[in-house]
A = this chain, B = another copy of it.
Amino acid sequence: MERTEKTLYLDDLAVGQRFETGSYAVSAAQIKAFAAQFDPQPFHLDDAAARATIFAGLAASGWHTAAITMRLQVESGLPLANGWLGAGGSVEWPNPTRPGDVLHVAGEIVDIHPSKSRPDRGIVTVRSETLNQDEKIVQITTAKLVVFRRPVP
């Protein structure tokens, strides 16, 4: 998915503004590859071993779900002029991402806080849910983004 234009500055955003992203299909091979690199635990690496754990089957690392969520937001979330610049945030994983899942993200701007010390920017809080094909929530994200005002010509 190519983003053709990035147009939104702080001035263009409002609390309550919503967005929905495209989708991302997750395979068992991707789950295992991410886990081998960043979260090498049996329940993320091996189908048989995963069955004996609390996950009762192969599950993606929560950080893999977080990374996919970022990809979806960067590519087809709000087209922020300066990009998705995260200062931090929180994540919850109510359900695991499974092989074969097709994820998308639905988000909403819940707070806009113009900076007092730096008048060219503000902090925008976005709450989003990452959902699978059955509309089960695999991640709830609250992200604090640095967003710039439209430059004065």
Q: Which residues of A contact B (CB under 8 A)?
A: 34, 37-43, 53-54, 61-64, 66-68, 70-71, 74-75, 82-93, 140, 146
- Copies assembled: 2
**Given contact pairs A38-B67, A39-B71, A40-B74, a sample of 20 additional A-B residue pairs in the complex whose CB atoms are under 8 Å apart:** A37-B67, A37-B71, A38-B71, A39-B74, A39-B84, A42-B83, A43-B83, A54-B82, A54-B85, A61-B67, A63-B66, A64-B67, A86-B93, A87-B93, A88-B92, A88-B93, A88-B140, A89-B90, A90-B91, A91-B91
Taking a contact as CB atoms under 8 Å apart, the answer to whether B146 and A70 are in contact is no
Using Cβ atoms and an 8 Å threshold, which residues of chain B touch A140?
Answer: 88
